[in-house]
Structure 1
Amino acid sequence: MRVLRALADITPLRSSPAFRRLWLGRVFSGFGGQMTLVAVMFQVWDQTGSTAWTGAVGLAQALPVIVFGLFAGTLVDRVDRRKFALVMTAGQAACSVLLAVQGFVGGVPVLVVLGLVAVQSCFVAGGGPAGRTFIPRLLPPEQLPAGLALNRIAFQGAMLLGPALGGLLLGWLGVGGCYVVDALTFGLAFYGVFGLPAMRPDGEGSRPGLRGVLDGLAFLVRTPVVRGALLTDLAATVLSMPISLFPLVNEEHFGGDPRTLGLFLSAIAVGGVAASVFSGAFTRLPRPGLVMLAGSAAWGVALTVFGLAPSPWLGLACLALAGAADTVSVVSRGALVQLNTPDALLGRVAAAEQIVGQAGPDIGNLRGGLVAGATSGTFALVSGGLLCVAAVVAVGAGTPGLRRFAVRGTSMTARPGS
């Protein structure tokens, strides 16, 4: 019985047909997005043979989200979020269709391909915050962590299997065929959103433009639980993101074996998937703040030990633990943010959360690379892990409401001092 309770809680899929349709749409569109990423990378590399150009693909994806995200969040808090999400989904699908057309035609300049990727990311900048506002409307508070864990399973499944499936389709159908499959998956995502009820924000709508953005930022600053949740995420990503250090650490510790290097990322993914599958063990706990803090601290500890690991098997075990801790932290943080944000501000707060999730790992990988260049990969990993733990402890100590916030039944409580 305890094992069954530790498995992912699928109650949201059983109890809410609207959530079930939305989730299935996200599953398929997530796979399609990963296939398109593989196709874009292959096409850009095939046309240029340059790692600078393939690196520009990531920039084309990230920059619109960072630049336009907060303004898109303001718009999300002014309109019917369902209709807005439908427009954003249709826009992403249209970009996939255009990518498919140029993939079949061939000979299109690489800047055009990157431009289409950037335009599609503009729609992601709006659709992401809109989509994050749906679950609090569809599920009662006690089911929210379980719903977010199910979303995490969909995301990690796409990350783990999507690229491999994309590679197979690329060899079979070519780049144009991959883009077509992605466009078709957006049809399922559109259907999932189309079946939702009207989703106008509760309360007073957002003020237009920069004033609405500033209102959202002011809420983040004056709300300790939400602020602490986002600061915890930044502590984990900016201070201790390990991906850029993997080649150097592999060289320093394990002789530069490419097979070991390939297993590093897989170990993190395997740990994350395992934590998602057994997410019932933590989504049913009443204090998501404590769970988030513990998960973020465990991430830092696991990476610290990885930096000191004398054998590849211990290192891989540490990375699997880090992947599991990351999933625990991400799911709990999402529950904290959504349960502590008024509906009228959900779009702007979701946009801020999306930007933190996009920019934090990139900055963290840059930090790790710079520190390793001045010292060593081991020092960069160990110091980053220890700094992460120290920052998480500081956030937890300075934010009593983060530790005390509890979800019991349909009531949410945050004791005084939050």
Structure 2
Amino acid sequence: MTAGPPNPDPAPDVDARTASASEPAADAVTDRPNRNWRRIGPDLRPLSIPAYRRLFLGQVFTVVGAMVTTVAVQQQVFDLTGSSAWVGIASLVALVPLVVFGLLGGAIADTYDRRKLLMVTSVGIAVTSIGLWLAALIGNESVWTVFALLAVQQGFFAVNQPTRSAIIPRIVPAELVPSANALGMTVFSIGVIVGPLLVGMLIPIIGVPWLYFLDALTLVGILYAVIKLPPVPPLGERRGRAKVIDGLAYLRLKPLLLMTFVVDIIAMVCGMPRALFPQMAQETFGGAVGGGFELGVLNAALAVGALIGGLTGGWIHRVHRQGIAIIAAIVVWGASMALYGTTSILWLAAIYLAVGGWADLVSAVYRSTILQVNATDEMRGRMQGVFTVVVAGGPRVADFVHGLVAAATSTTFAVVAGGIATIVLTLLAATLGRSLVRYDTRRHD
């Protein structure tokens, strides 16, 4: 059977070793919340673990600033060039360091203390945000300056994310990992909502430069939270630096893990029309030149759906056929994106995008959980590095592809065709790669 075993790592023992003595044991946390609330609302049990609560708090500060910078870069590049194709190229520029340092970052996370890595990379992200602020403040007219700073920032991001994700199974027991992932993604969704709305409201008031400065300020919060984390050194005996190639070889032996990456690449590359939002906000939905309310709504709608999914996700941890849940969620995602491409009514487009955001959260929670629970700690950083490359890199490839297709045809064709391709290719992949369909958390094969 291809379904992997439950997490073999002694999470409670590691927790006792890495956290302070005053922190409650993870096993004692599982029975505290009201069961009726967990059936409807989010499962809050992971927040009873102090180490996870600190990691969660740091993420709250990070996501708003990160989304502000993401949307600000898109808008700045579109303002400088007037072309969605250049917005797509910006994402392609960001993809290269994501791929290179995502893989290297995973190996680094398997070699060094993960808490220290979070501190170093958070400082790096803040410094590059300040660089974007200064360049825009002095009236930089070169899109290549924006590209260079963006590439450096993405390099730090690519090390930061696998490190953060690899910490979760060390401080949270396996049965709470889906709930912890759902909470983290809910916070991310809130940031995605607040970030674009802030951009839409603040661009006419303070301009793009000070948006980058706002991002740098938010990273002060995560530094404080990370400093308070316990040390998270690699488990077991160290035998030199972890090798990227060993992680890739490990992945080849785990078809279940590989399939989670394949279906996500399909969903993101074919079905994510983010690069077209500036153009569609202006041309399809009648928004103002240079960004505004319509652009904010389009960017926020996906996150609203994900937020609704997170706030009503008490059922998520009870699903055992997680692979089938991933496939169904991606099919819903593709259908919602195709429908979005057919309308010129803003509120209807927002509904379609929100449904897609809900489906994306469900898929992401189960993909993260399968990867974290079925990978050993010695490989977990490298697996999370691959996850970062796929999750962060896939939408950037989508930006490039959608930008080129829209420039050659139309935004409507690019979005509708992408949604349909998502459904067809996902079902084909599920048919050919049966490990995802067969996966059941109740079977320990």
TM-score normalised by structure 2 residue count: 0.76
Q: Is the 8 A contact 1:240 1:368 kept in 2?
A: no
2:372 alignment partner in structure 1: 338
Matched, 1:232 2:263: yes
Which residue is 1:364 aligned to? Answer: 398
Please give the residue correspondences for 1:275-290 in structure 2 after superposition, counting only pairs within 5 Å: 275-290=309-324
Aligned to 2:252: 221
Which aligned pairs between 1:93-242 and structure 2 lie closer than 5 A? 93-99=126-132, 106=138, 110=142, 114-166=147-199, 178-203=211-236, 208=241, 212-242=243-273
The answer as to whether partners of 1:65 and 1:124 remain within 8 angstroms in 2 is yes
CA distance in 2, matches of 1:354, 1:232: 14
Q: Do the aligned residues in 2 keep the contact of 1:401 with 1:414 (CA within 8 Å)?
A: no
**Alignment check: 8 A CA contact 1:293 1:392 kept:** yes
Q: What is aligned with 1:89?
A: 122
Q: Which secondary structure state, in structure 2, belongs to the residue aligned with residue 280 of structure 1? A: coil
Describe the superposition over 1:244-292 as per-residue Cα deviations: whole angstroms up to 9, x where unpaired: 56799999xxx94426975554443322221122122323323322221
1:238-387 matched pairs, under 5 angstroms: 238-243=269-274, 256-258=284-286, 262=295, 264-306=298-340, 316-368=350-402, 380-387=414-421
Q: How many corresponding residue pairs?
A: 403
Residues 49, 305 of structure 1: alpha-carbon distance in 2 compared, 3 angstrom cutoff: closer
1:67 equivalent to 2:100? Answer: yes
Q: How far off its partner does 1:28 sit? A: 0.9
Query: Over residues 396-418 of structure 1, what are the superposed CA-to-partner deviations in whole Å (9 max), with x where a residue is unaligned?
Result: 3344442343446xxxx443xxx
CA distance in 2 between partners of 1:175 and 1:390 (Å)? 40
SS at match of 2:320: coil
2:88–2:400 CA contact under 8 A, matched in 1: no
C-alpha distance in structure 2 between counterparts of 1:152 and 1:250, whole Å: 26
TM-aligned CA distance change 1:133 to 1:171, over 3 Å: same
Q: Which structure shows the higher helix fraction?
A: 1
Q: In the aligned structure 1, how far is the partner of 2:59 from the partner of 2:91?
A: 21
- Tell me the CA shift for residue 74 of structure 1: 1.6
Distance in 2 (alpha carbons) for counterparts of 1:341 and 1:266: 33
Query: Distance in 2 between the 1:136 and 1:293 partners?
Result: 24
The 3-state SS of whatever aligns with 1:9 is coil
Give the 5 Å matches for 1:4-19: 5-13=39-47, 15-19=48-52
Q: CA deviation at 1:147?
A: 0.9
Q: CA RMSD in A?
A: 3.7
Instruction: Tell me by how many angstroms 1:302 deviates.
Output: 2.9
- C-alpha distance in 2, partners of 1:302/1:49? 30
Instruction: Give how far 1:174 is off.
Output: 6.5
Cα pair 1:142 1:407 within 8 Å, conserved: no
Which segment drifts farther, 2-11 or 150-159? 2-11
Contact 1:77 1:206 in 2 (8 A): no
Say which is worse superposed, 154-163 or 378-387, in terms of deviation: 378-387
1:35 aligns with 2:35: no
Query: Post-superposition shift, 1:311?
Result: 7.6
Please give the per-residue CA displacement for 1:357-398, whole angstroms capped at 9, x wherever unaligned: 223223334445556677776665555434323332333334
Checking the alignment, whether the CA contact within 8 Å between 1:6 and 1:280 is kept in structure 2 is yes
Structure 1 position 3, deviation (Å): 7.2
Q: Distance in 2 between matches of 1:108 and 1:370?
A: 26
Q: Aligned in 2, Cα 1:312/1:56: closer, same or farther, shift over 3 Å? A: closer
1:389 pairs with 2:420: no
| Pair 54,191 (structure 1): closer, same or farther in 2 beyond 3 Å | same
Distance (Å, rounded) in 2 between the aligned partners of 1:96 and 1:380: 32
1:325 Cα deviation (Å)? 0.9
User: Secondary structure of 2:235's match?
Assistant: coil
Q: Distance in 2 between matches of 1:97 and 1:377?
A: 34
Unaligned runs of 5+ in 2: 1-34, 288-292
Say if 1:132 and 1:350, in contact at 8 Å, map to a contact too: yes
Percent identical among aligned pairs is 35
> Take 1:170 and 1:404, find their aligned partners in 2: how far apart are those partners?
49
Letter in 2 for 1:132: S
Answer yes or no: is 1:79 the counterpart of 2:112: yes
Distance 1:93 1:4 in 2: 37
2:65–2:195 contact (8 Å) kept in structure 1: yes
How far off is 1:310 after superposition?
A: 10
Unpaired runs of 5+ in structure 1?
A: none
After superposition, what is the alpha-carbon deviation per residue over 1:308-353, rounded to whole angstroms, capped at 9, x for unaligned?
A: 6798766554333222111111111111111111111111111111
From the superposition, tell whether residues 205 and 351 of structure 1 become closer, same or farther in structure 2 (CA, over 3 Å).
farther
Name the CA distance, whole Å, in 2 between partners of 1:375 and 1:56: 17
SS class of match (2:43): coil
